[in-house]
Amino acid sequence: MSEAIQLTSSAAQRVATIAAKQGKPAILRLSVEGGGCSGFQYRFGLADGVEADDTQVETDGVKLVVDSISLDLVRGAAVDFVENLGGAAFKVENPNAASGCGCGSSFSI
């Protein structure tokens, strides 16, 4: 059975670097909130720990945690870190998204 959500090695490496600089655990929280130009938007942040209703996956010693409500909207997705001429950012490849915006930070179902 495949993971409910995935964290790429590139994203794990970036989280580890950020967490080390901030003196925090290497735990990335992904949540989904209403808003953005397409209806829902992704939120990323370092977490201090794992909550009881979180789903977690680990890649290269870094954890990705998603709350149960957000997981319904991102199940099967992969979180990556990409760098290109436009900048560097975490990106969610979400198979549940029917459409997205140009910036890639919001989506609709």
User: 1 pLDDT band (50/70/90 cuts)?
Assistant: very low
The whole model's pTM is what?
A: 0.84
- Quick check: 15 and 30 in contact, CB under 8 A? no
Q: How many domains does the chain have?
A: 1
Q: 56-81: per-residue pLDDT in tens?
A: 999 999 999 999 999 999 999 999 99
Inform me whether the pLDDT recorded for 18 exceeds 90. Answer: yes
CATH number of the CATH domain containing 96: 2.60.300.12
Please state, in angstroms and rounded to a whole number, the distance separating the CA atoms of residues 103 and 21: 27
Percent of the chain with pLDDT over 70: 84
Instruction: Report the pLDDT averaged over residues 28-49.
Output: 86
Please state, in angstroms and rounded to a whole number, the distance separating the CA atoms of residues 97 and 102: 13
Instruction: Give residue 27's domain range.
Output: 5-108
At 8 the pLDDT is 97
Instruction: Report the pLDDT averaged over residues 26-30.
Output: 97
